[in-house]
């Protein structure tokens, strides 16, 4: 899992310089696909996963998650999430981050930053004896006190030889609720936070989740290992150390 997760983090580091105005999300998909397959000798997990047609997810502005790369070009002021999952030696590593394209509005930049804080406040709850509800509570509290909303239809997930497994890691909840967190567990935390209301719909492509009120949405994701004393962020990037 450490190897797979490090590779996923390295894909984000590799693609970052290409994420700029004028590039299409399909080009970013090709760059990531070729790097994962040719350089990492790994497998892009999204490709053909339940029929998903591409190797990465790219979710722009009001898109919450599972955006499908296309010939649409990124433009100045966009915010975009790039979500990478690689399979190496049968194990999955899953991580995503937001990118701001050129000059983004202050309200977009604040949403991106608060959502990153939500992820890390959730991660800081992780230790043996804590409960999954503690993670959700920390995220929900920070999001809602910033007058944002938490998407409820998608959650973090156990991960390993399967892309998505038990438990469901909710991004909302109450302290002390849910299963107890135990050493050796590995799961993702990946809050999706909307600038407007929490409600979403799925586009006709069957994948792209968007905010119903068309407000901006942001997401950050890490894969987390529970240690004897706390946590290890398996997908941590150099810029986060």
* Interface residue list for ligand MF3 (CB under 6 A): 46, 49-50, 52, 57, 66, 83, 85, 94, 188, 190, 221
Name the maximum alpha-carbon separation found in the chain: 48
Binding-site string for Co ion from residue 28 to residue 67, where x marks contact by CB under 5 A and - marks none: ----------------------------------------
Q: Least CB distance from residue 158 to ligand MF3, whole Å?
A: 11
User: Which residues make beta-bridge pairs with 86?
Assistant: 44, 93
Which of residues 66 and 142 has its CB atom nearest to ligand MF3 in the complex? 66
Distance CA 15, CA 35 (A): 9
Complex with ligand MF3: residue 82 or 143, whichever CB lies closer: 82
Q: Which does 29 bind (CB under 5 to 8 A by kind): ligand MF3, Co ion, none?
A: none
Residue nearest to ligand MF3 (CB): 46
Cα 231 to Cα 186: distance, rounded to the nearest angstrom: 10
Identify the CA nearest to 94 among candidates 157, 29, 8. Answer: 8
- Find the shortest distance in angstroms from Cβ 44 to ligand MF3: 9
Q: Which of residues 107 and 162 has its CB atom nearest to ligand MF3 in the complex?
A: 162
What is the rounded distance in angstroms from the CA atom of residue 184 to the CA atom of residue 84? 23
Reported in sequence order, the residue ranges of the chain that DSSP labels E, i.e. its strands, are 43-44, 57-60, 63-65, 79-88, 91-100, 149-150, 156-158, 165-169, 186-189, 192-194, 200-202, 209-211, 217-219, 222-226, 231-233
Cβ burial 186-215 (10 Å sphere, 16+ → b, else e) = bbbbbbbbbbbebebeeeeeebbbbbeeeb
Q: Are 127 and 181 in contact (CB under 8 A)?
A: yes
> Considering CB distances under 5 to 8 angstroms, the limit depending on partner class, which of Co ion, ligand MF3, none binds residue 120?
none
Residue 52, binding choice from ligand MF3, Co ion, none, Cβ under 5 to 8 Å by partner class: ligand MF3
Does 94 bind Co ion (CB under 5 A)? Our answer is yes
User: Cβ 105 to Co ion, closest distance in Å?
Assistant: 26
Residue 75: CB minimum distance to ligand MF3, A = 23
Nearer to Co ion among residue 85 and residue 214 (C-beta):
85
| Positions in 201-230 near Co ion (CB under 5 A) | 221
Question: Does 83 contact Co ion by CB under 5 A?
Answer: yes
Q: Distance (Å, rounded) from C-alpha 121 to C-alpha 115?
A: 10
Residue span 186-205 as binding mask against Co ion, x where in contact by CB under 5 A, dash where not: --x-----------------
- The residues of the shown chain that bind Co ion, judged by CB under 5 A, are 83, 94, 96, 188, 221
């Amino acid at each position: 899992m450490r190897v797979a997760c490090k590779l996923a983090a390295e894909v984000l580091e590799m693609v970052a310089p290409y994420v700029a105005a004028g590039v299409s999300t399909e080009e970013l998909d090709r760059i990531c696909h070729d790097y994962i397959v040719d350089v990492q000798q790994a497998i892009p997990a999204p490709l053909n996963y339940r029929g998903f047609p591409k190797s990465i997810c790219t979710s722009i502005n009001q898109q919450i998650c599972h955006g499908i790369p296309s010939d649409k070009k990124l433009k100045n002021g966009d915010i975009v999430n790039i979500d990478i999952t690689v399979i190496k030696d049968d194990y999955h590593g899953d991580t995503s981050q937001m990118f701001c394209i050129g000059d983004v509005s202050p309200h977009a930049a604040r949403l991106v930053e608060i959502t990153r804080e939500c992820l890390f406040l959730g991660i800081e709850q992780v230790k043996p004896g804590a409960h999954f509800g503690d993670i959700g509570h920390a995220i929900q509290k920070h999001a809602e006190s910033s007058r944002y909303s938490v998407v409820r239809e998608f959650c973090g997930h156990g991960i390993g030889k399967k892309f998505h497994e038990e438990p469901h890691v909710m991004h909302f909840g109450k302290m002390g609720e849910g299963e107890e967190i135990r050493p050796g567990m590995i799961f993702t935390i990946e809050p999706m936070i909307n600038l407007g209301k929490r409600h979403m719909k799925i586009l006709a492509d069957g994948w792209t989740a968007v905010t119903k009120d068309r407000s901006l949405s942001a997401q950050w994701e890490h894969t987390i290992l529970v240690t004897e004393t706390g946590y290890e962020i398996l997908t941590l990037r150099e810029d986060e150390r």
